[in-house]
Structure 1
């Protein structure tokens, strides 16, 4: 461990004490709510990730690390405040995430661990923590502080080691059984490979531009029992606006089900310092028959730029099928084939998936007509033995090839453990 470890351990101790004290504040309201149970979730994750470039002039990236994280989520407890004979409720969430590097320093950024550009060194360990205050009334919940969001632009990245989180305020309301609304302002982000919360940023042509915050509204409506729709608008101040609309339909029969997803994104800038003008149209059909699942998708980027992705390795998981390399370049058209199988009838807990994507009609950095492919092989196993409950294994192999560019292969091995109490 580095010479900074005692300081890191001190930060962990302070963060843990902060969580305990923060939770104690909300527990003061629990005198008349003895049946309300808080939830603690403890996780361990061992992650080995290695990316090998075919080009010998590019350094291979990756690392081996171990994480331990603690997440707290309180039940909503009544306060003495009432409006129309209905109480205002209060609660709190909190988190501490810590990871230590087990491998030697490769002196190259791997998008997993923090990287010091000045010293060209990977951090030996890193720590993330945050807390959230929750206020409820009726079917509405106001949250302020650290937020875990599953929305366009702001989703939680679980594909590496520690998790992405956001800092801001949002209000979610269940208007009817079918209609849900959410509005919010997100001021900062803590990317997966950084400790602190910082402003959103977008880099274009080597110049980084910053935003003071993201203002958004998300509307979800269950149109019929089998059809749901969603509309999202996000304004990244001083950067760009994003519109998103989708339809999701599931047709179930006795022996199979067919899920259809139609998605549309439209992002445009409102500044003169850079150009963003991109639309993303995607369609994904997924057929499930017994333990088999077959997926066929198409995605197309339209406009005068690539589809914008924010700095900090923030994934756009709302794409029809988010991949390692995105397939979101200017004018790119991509075709997605997916097959998965659940071995539950033979080896309970074991499943596998294969994904293959072909993209074309985009230009290389030097102007040639380009094309790319990405193949993903995924193997998952959740241990079924009672004494190993909560322990899981995942292996991912990625093979990426591009006509003009840098090919690579990547292997990811995860051992995960989760315990709720």
Structure 2
């Protein structure tokens, strides 16, 4: 099979080789931006007597994004690019592992710098766009991660169609993954077992402005197959009062030759579970009050690619996706614009989980408490500059997972180049 990156290069060359007139929108509709992100992160493990007392690193990242328009005509061609680099400011072998910096597999020394370049060829027909090459999907069955210096990427192909008003369809195949602290494209993987690819198909339909229904099917070759259903409803209850309901359900089973059984997990690594999670959020003026719940039943951990499961309990440190995990969440958000300070926001949440099953522990418990305060400059020379202070505390029972006290300081500055 022709390599996807080679196909992307050929499509790009074809699009760029058209006449200057046909390329007018290719240039005119293009845009480029760069984001500088400075991040300090400290994870303290000392309270759990872990072998590594803490993980502490400070680094600077830069991400350049360039997106072309499409050439004119019934079939339009375009090309996107993403270039990322991270620079070590402070780290060491005994403080590595925050996810900010790559480190050598043998030496375990954090790299002084690392980076990557990704290219994406795209073809548009009517309201459908095919992308080949580097991808960053945000879908319930496959999402990229962007909570460190650099964002993760996938390599593959993705077709997105919006031919029908209110309906968005996606069909794709992801063949490689590049994690947030890596500069290499690796095999799709779950539980330490490689897979040739992940196929996905599905979409979302806006029944009306307040109700959206979603369905997706995903299959990680020889590991798992998955059905996903999602309902999001927004209701206005009165002046300044709203209620948002977000309900998510996954049915995940084994697929193929079941190589995942070799993993040292509960039930021999078997995947056969149902995962319900959802959140109801009441908005009152500048306040938001959220209540979330999840139930993961069946055999094995919840399966997903990369680092981000589509769950309301994907929080700062933990993902609460171990086998049989039941959990609830309480969350509060406040927007300080009501007090005359636009751009300043506050969030705190608490997640408590129990009934957790692993190969070594039955009936385990976990909890996490997070607090964020963030400010985005609204005007002047520093417009867009954002500062976030993030604190997380995580605890588990019986050595289920290493306990953590964590602090992050994140400073970001996005700049539109054209």
Q: After TM superposition, what 4+ stretches of structure 1 lie above 6 angstroms from structure 2?
A: 22-25
Q: Does residue 1:163 correspond to 2:151, yes or no?
A: yes
Question: Which stretch shifts more, 150-159 or 44-53?
Answer: 150-159
Within the candidate set 396, 415, 418, 2:414 is matched to 418
With normalisation by structure 1, the TM-score equals 0.87
Question: Which stretch shifts more, 24-33 or 390-399?
Answer: 24-33
Asked if 2 retains the 8 angstrom alpha-carbon contact of 1:235 and 1:242, the reply is yes
Q: 1:195 to 1:276 in 2, by over 3 A?
A: same
> What corresponds to 1:261 in structure 2?
246
The alpha carbon displacement at 1:24 in A equals 12
Q: Does residue 1:328 correspond to 2:321, yes or no?
A: yes
Q: 1:322 to 1:57 in 2, by over 3 A?
A: closer
- In 1, distance between residues paired with 2:251 and 2:35? 37
- In 1, distance between residues paired with 2:299 and 2:362? 17
> What corresponds to 1:78 in structure 2?
72
Asked if 1 retains the 8 angstrom alpha-carbon contact of 2:348 and 2:369, the reply is yes
- In 2, distance between residues paired with 1:25 and 1:227? 38
> What corresponds to 1:341 in structure 2?
334
> What corresponds to 1:127 in structure 2?
115
Within the candidate set 184, 192, 197, 2:185 is matched to 197
> What corresponds to 2:377 in structure 1?
383
- List gaps (5 residues or longer) in structure 1: 1-18, 80-86
Asked if 1 retains the 8 angstrom alpha-carbon contact of 2:93 and 2:108, the reply is no
Within the candidate set 236, 241, 244, 2:225 is matched to 241
> What corresponds to 1:84 in structure 2?
none
Within the candidate set 20, 37, 44, 2:36 is matched to 44
User: CA-atom RMSD, angstroms?
Assistant: 2.0
The alpha carbon displacement at 1:352 in A equals 0.6
The alpha carbon displacement at 1:90 in A equals 1.1
Within the candidate set 129, 133, 140, 1:145 is matched to 133
- In 1, distance between residues paired with 2:284 and 2:246? 18
- In 1, distance between residues paired with 2:199 and 2:358? 34
- Please state whether the residue corresponding to 1:344 is helix, strand or coil: helix
Q: 1:287 to 1:247 in 2, by over 3 A?
A: same
The alpha carbon displacement at 1:248 in A equals 0.6
Within the candidate set 25, 31, 43, 2:21 is matched to 31
Q: 1:134 to 1:67 in 2, by over 3 A?
A: same
The alpha carbon displacement at 1:416 in A equals 0.2
> What corresponds to 2:4 in structure 1?
none
> What corresponds to 2:175 in structure 1?
187
Q: Does residue 1:215 correspond to 2:199, yes or no?
A: yes
- In 2, distance between residues paired with 1:215 and 1:258? 35
Within the candidate set 85, 88, 101, 1:113 is matched to 101
Q: 1:358 to 1:30 in 2, by over 3 A?
A: farther
Asked if 2 retains the 8 angstrom alpha-carbon contact of 1:393 and 1:416, the reply is yes
Q: Does residue 1:272 correspond to 2:258, yes or no?
A: yes
- List gaps (5 residues or longer) in structure 2: 1-8, 262-269
* Count of residue pairs the alignment pairs up: 387
The alpha carbon displacement at 1:23 in A equals 9.8
Q: 1:302 to 1:45 in 2, by over 3 A?
A: same
- In 2, distance between residues paired with 1:398 and 1:415? 18
Q: 1:69 to 1:191 in 2, by over 3 A?
A: same
